[in-house]
């Protein structure tokens, strides 16, 4: 059998499973779960992988799943990954009324496409000279920080991102490179966006402490922590002109608690923010300016402030060779007009953390209408969202593991990692401390 014949057979198997793959994607879309709580989605993914005869590890980083399809040789190991969690978007028509969770970021498509690739590849692995790992990862969306802080205090996690936890726990120690897809909101056409950038960020949880007093009778006896928080918003805003345009710094704080009662001077006020940017040095510099603005604002009104620095995600490093192989397969599926390059994505993903330690590819796909993380986000082309990415990733895995896994071995040998596991964990822990 030739490589092209194998690709054709894998795509035919995926086509036979098309209705099932779409049903999986739709089922997850209609049952959204937030990070580190994706119990039902995790069970669904594990069940599908077990049904393919794959040994399956479950409960990784609380809800994560990992399975490995063995080739005729295990010369190298390629990972196809999907994310389990939804985002908080309570106004979405398919939001969970209890939690506000909604798949308005398209992670349901990732799991469906990952499982679709597994359905196509697993019966034909004896033709490949390496293994394919299928992983369902929790908690990419950086939300519910207080909940994750409790998980950390309980010793259940150390970091707030699921892929960060996969790295820490050694789940990826036997993986050589990886790939995944992500929705591109507002791109309804059958397009794949290659080599897109995304930012890195740090998170901050801020608590202003003042002194309570009766707001009507004796406000002069109090220290208004809400005033300190409000000043800090303006002080942060005053820093914006100091951020270089090319660094794409973004700071977007919210007040999560503004006080206790309207007739009590606010003494306990909470804020959260990210500081995003295209490179980690710029993020660290901007984060220091934000801290200075926050502390100065507290001092101005006589309040106290605590700033908890939480390691966010690293900027995404796209492996151009992996993107190139994927693009060639898309050309065969949909024609060269289906690939776009050079788009800048100012969101962030913990896939950036993985891309700092191994070759990685994070492809954006069409088939979606509406705006990301909003009430109008939806899938308008189910085959494009779920099935086409499964085919393209499966064919790329074949390219990598064909003929002695020569392509995968060459990519690994020519990849200079920015960090190894040890230095990565040291960086996060030093930042956190």
Residue-wise pLDDT tens digits, 208-263: 999 999 999 999 999 999 999 999 999 999 999 999 999 999 999 999 999 999 99
CA distance linking residue 294 with residue 177, whole number of Å: 40
Tokens of 363: 């492809």
Asked whether residue 342 carries a pLDDT value surpassing 80, the answer given is no
| Cβ-contact 103, 28 below 8 angstroms | yes
Q: pLDDT of 78-103, one tens digit each?
A: 999 999 999 999 999 999 999 999 99
CA distance 152 to 171: 19
Domain 3-196+316-432: which CATH number of 3.40.640.10, 3.40.630.10, 3.40.50.300, 3.40.190.10:
3.40.630.10
Look over the chain and give the mean of its residue pLDDT values, rounded to a whole number.
Answer: 95
Specify the pairing of strand 77-83 against strand 131-137. Answer: parallel
pLDDT of residue 198: 85
pTM of the model: 0.90
Interatomic CA distance for residues 351 and 23, integer angstroms? 26
- pLDDT of 408 reads 98
In a 3-state reduction of DSSP, which class is residue 217? Answer: coil
CA pair distance 10, 124, nearest whole angstrom: 8
The whole-number pLDDT of residue 343 equals 73
| Residue labelled with tokens 């980690």 | 280
Structure confidence at residue 279 as a pLDDT band (50, 70, 90): confident
Q: What average pLDDT does this structure show over 327-336?
A: 95
Q: State the pLDDT at residue 346.
A: 62
pLDDT computed for residue 50 by the predictor: 98
Polymer length of the chain: 433
| pLDDT band at residue 203 under the 50/70/90 scheme | confident
54: exposed, middle or buried (C-beta count within 10 Å: 0-12, 13-18, 19+)? buried
Least confident of 193-202, 301-310, 373-382: 193-202
The burial of 206, by beta-carbon neighbours within 10 Å (0-12 exposed, 13-18 middle, 19 or more buried), is given as buried
Q: What is the pLDDT of residues 353-396, one digit of tens each?
A: 999 999 999 999 999 999 989 999 999 999 999 999 999 999 99
200-311: CATH topology is Alpha-Beta Plaits (3.30.70)
- Residues 88, 141: Cα–Cα separation, whole Å: 9
The structural domains of the chain, with segments of one domain joined by +, span: 3-196+316-432, 200-311
């Amino acid at each position: 059998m030739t490589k092209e014949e194998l690709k054709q057979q894998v795509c035919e198997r995926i086509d036979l499973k098309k209705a099932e793959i779409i049903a999986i994607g739709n089922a997850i879309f209609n049952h959204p779960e937030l990070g580190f709580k994706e119990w039902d989605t995790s069970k669904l993914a594990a069940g599908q992988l077990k049904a393919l005869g794959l040994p399956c590890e479950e409960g990784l980083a609380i809800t994560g799943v990992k399975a490995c399809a063995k080739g005729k040789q295990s010369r190298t190991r390629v990972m196809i990954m999907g994310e389990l969690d939804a985002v908080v978007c309570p106004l979405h028509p398919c939001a969970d009324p209890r939690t506000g969770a909604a798949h308005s970021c398209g992670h349901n498509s990732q799991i469906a496409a990952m499982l679709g690739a597994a359905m196509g590849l697993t019966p034909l692995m004896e033709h490949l000279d390496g293994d394919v790992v299928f992983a369902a990862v929790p908690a990419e969306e950086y939300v519910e920080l207080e909940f994750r802080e409790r998980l950390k205090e309980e010793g259940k996690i150390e970091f707030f991102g699921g892929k960060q936890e996969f790295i820490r726990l050694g789940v990826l120690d036997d993986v050589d490179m990886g790939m995944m897809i992500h929705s591109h909101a507002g791109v309804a056409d059958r397009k794949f966006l290659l080599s897109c950038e995304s930012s890195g960020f740090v998170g901050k949880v801020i608590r202003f402490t003042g002194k309570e007093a009766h707001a009507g009778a004796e406000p002069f006896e109090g220290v208004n922590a809400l005033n300190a928080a409000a000043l800090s918003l303006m002080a942060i805003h005053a820093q914006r002109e100091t951020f270089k345009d090319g660094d794409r710094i973004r700071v977007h704080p919210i007040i999560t608690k503004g006080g206790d009662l309207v007739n009590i001077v606010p003494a306990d006020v909470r804020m959260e923010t990210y500081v995003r940017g295209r490179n980690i040095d710029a993020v660290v510099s901007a984060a220091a300016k934000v801290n200075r603005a926050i502390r100065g604002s507290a001092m101005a009104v006589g309040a106290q402030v605590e700033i908890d620095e939480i390691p966010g995600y690293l900027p995404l490093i796209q492996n151009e060779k992996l993107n190139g192989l994927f693009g060639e397969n898309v050309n065969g599926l949909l024609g060269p007009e289906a690939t776009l390059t050079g788009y800048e994505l100012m969101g962030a993903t913990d896939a950036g953390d993985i891309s700092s330690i191994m070759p990685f590819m994070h492809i954006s796909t069409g088939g979606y209408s509406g705006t990301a993380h909003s009430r109008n986000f939806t899938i308008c082309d189910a085959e494009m969202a779920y099935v086409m990415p499964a085919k393209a990733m499966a064919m790329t895995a074949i390219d990598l593991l064909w003929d002695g896994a020569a392509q995968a071995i060459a990519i690994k040998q020519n990849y200079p990692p920015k960090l190894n596991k040890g230095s990565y964990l040291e960086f996060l822990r030093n930042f956190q401390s």
